[in-house]
Amino acid sequence: MQELRERIKRELEELGRQDRYRTLPHVTARRGKYIELEGKPLVNLSSNDYLGLGDERALLAGYLEQCIERGYAMTSSSSRLLTGNHPLYGELEEALAALYGRESAMVFNSGYHANIGILPALCGRHDLVLSDRLNHASIIDGMKIAEGSSQRFRHRDYDHLEELLDAAAGRYRQIFILSESVFSMDGDLADLLRLVELKKRYDALLIVDEAHGAGVFGERGLGLCETAGVVPDIDIIVGTFGKSFASTGAYAVMDNIFREYLTNTMRPFIFTTALPPAVLGWSLLTLEIQSSMSRERQQLLQLAAKLRDALIAEGFDVPGESHIVPVITGSNEKAVSLAARLRDAGFLCLPVRPPTVPPNSARIRLSLRSILEWEDISALPGLFTGGMAS
């Protein structure tokens, strides 16, 4: 034990030396555009509540009253396969399937659960997984748990994916292709049309994670798959409730046969306590409300384009084409010092460092929301310029 303690201490010290040491921020309040850290209000540029639904206080108050009237509990007291399967699960899954126009949907406790559960359930040791190199940690963890072989294709490099598919053809029982739609740390977009074309040509199963696309893209907020017109072609579309939908949990839409199989085999679905009814009812409500928020979606994407253009005009490396606007600093130290400078100026934007992003690509990740206006963020390009120079 003593040896373990000493090793852990050394590793923590090393993280500190590399500017990779993490601490939990002390959030004292969250209110609309602002977040209060240690009592100081800051413009919140680090939230995934992209449509601002999490701050609709009147909506929440009305919903909480309903919870009391209808007796929605804060616990389900059991897993879904035992006694936790509240009727709201059925309603929510039916609403999702209807919205996407797909045979069925499943609700999970989180996007993390979805991503570490779906693939390992479907993919056996004779199968191969091909995954975009910048896919989220939860997708990577799912690949680690799955018994199949796995390879990563270069980020959004579909020629590379095609090469890997060619090389693998006939050698595996089933090939799985995994991609995010809107990449969480780069804000850039997968070419879903190309992915669908490849998956069809090679008879692969395509899983797309819309965690950052749902609520932001598509007329009804179904994500980039809706914008690209490929909702029926993606075998499994994963989305989370914890971001645009301002709730907790996650979902996936799919054909009935997969739902039936996952219900019987997906460990993070089977062996966990179900979500509380109060959360399920709120997800049902926000899912419906967001489906008609296309004006907010447009405003958000226009705001992001304006900020991205202004930062690029100042000479910054700002990849992507969505509401996630990353400003690459390269060094961890620069990202940390810029974040501190922005915080002094009244903005909360957190530095993102390896291992969340590849080495030497530390960044400030600005995540915009439809409730922000240009006046709220117009000072940012100037602040970045001053910070990079110093």
Q: How far is the CB of 6 from ligand PMP (least distance, A)?
A: 33
Distance between CA atoms of 85 and 289, rounded to whole angstroms?
Answer: 24
Distance between CA atoms of 191 and 136, rounded to whole angstroms?
Answer: 17
Tell me if the bond preceding 354 is cis, omega within 30° of 0: no
Return the axis-axis angle of helices 111-122 and 137-145, rounded to nearest 10°. Answer: 30
Contact 202, 169 (CB under 8 A): yes
Eight-class DSSP state of 254: E
Q: How far is the CB of 63 from ligand PMP (least distance, A)?
A: 20
CA atoms within 13 A on the CB side of 137: 7
Closer to ligand PMP at the Cβ: 182 or 318?
182
Closer to ligand PMP at the Cβ: 249 or 387?
249
Closer to ligand PMP at the Cβ: 211 or 348?
211
Q: How far is the CB of 90 from ligand PMP (least distance, A)?
A: 21
- Give Cα separations from 381 to 221, 313, 330, 365 (angstroms): 29, 9, 17, 13
Q: How far is the CB of 138 from ligand PMP (least distance, A)?
A: 5
Q: Which two tokens stand for residue 278?
A: 């109060």
Q: How far is the CB of 45 from ligand PMP (least distance, A)?
A: 16
Contact partners, residue 92, CB within 8 Å, separation at least 6: 105, 107, 251, 280, 283, 284, 287
Closer to ligand PMP at the Cβ: 241 or 384?
241
Q: Which residue has the tokens 């085999």?
A: 265
Closer to ligand PMP at the Cβ: 88 or 190?
190
Q: How far is the CB of 238 from ligand PMP (least distance, A)?
A: 7
Closer to ligand PMP at the Cβ: 43 or 250?
250
Contact 363, 329 (CB under 8 A): yes
Q: How far is the CB of 375 from ligand PMP (least distance, A)?
A: 29
Closer to ligand PMP at the Cβ: 86 or 212?
212
Per-residue buried b or exposed e for 253-272, using 16+ beta carbons within 10 Å of the residue's own CB: bbeeebbeebeeebebbbeb
Q: Which of helix, strand or coil describes residue 268? A: helix
Q: Is the dihedral of CA 252, 295, 31, 339 positive or negative?
A: positive
Closer to ligand PMP at the Cβ: 236 or 310?
236
Interface residues with ligand PMP (CB under 6 A) are 110-112, 115, 136, 138, 180, 184, 209, 211-212, 240, 242, 250
Closer to ligand PMP at the Cβ: 76 or 240?
240
CA-closest candidate to residue 145, choices 170, 119, 126: 119
Closest-by-Cβ residue to ligand PMP is 111
**Residue 265 is which amino acid?**
T
Closer to ligand PMP at the Cβ: 109 or 329?
109
Tell me if the bond preceding 355 is cis, omega within 30° of 0: yes
What's phi and psi for 192, nearest 5 deg? -70, -30
Q: How far is the CB of 14 from ligand PMP (least distance, A)?
A: 25
Distance between CA atoms of 203 and 329, rounded to whole angstroms?
Answer: 40
Q: How far is the CB of 295 from ligand PMP (least distance, A)?
A: 25
Q: How far is the CB of 185 from ligand PMP (least distance, A)?
A: 8
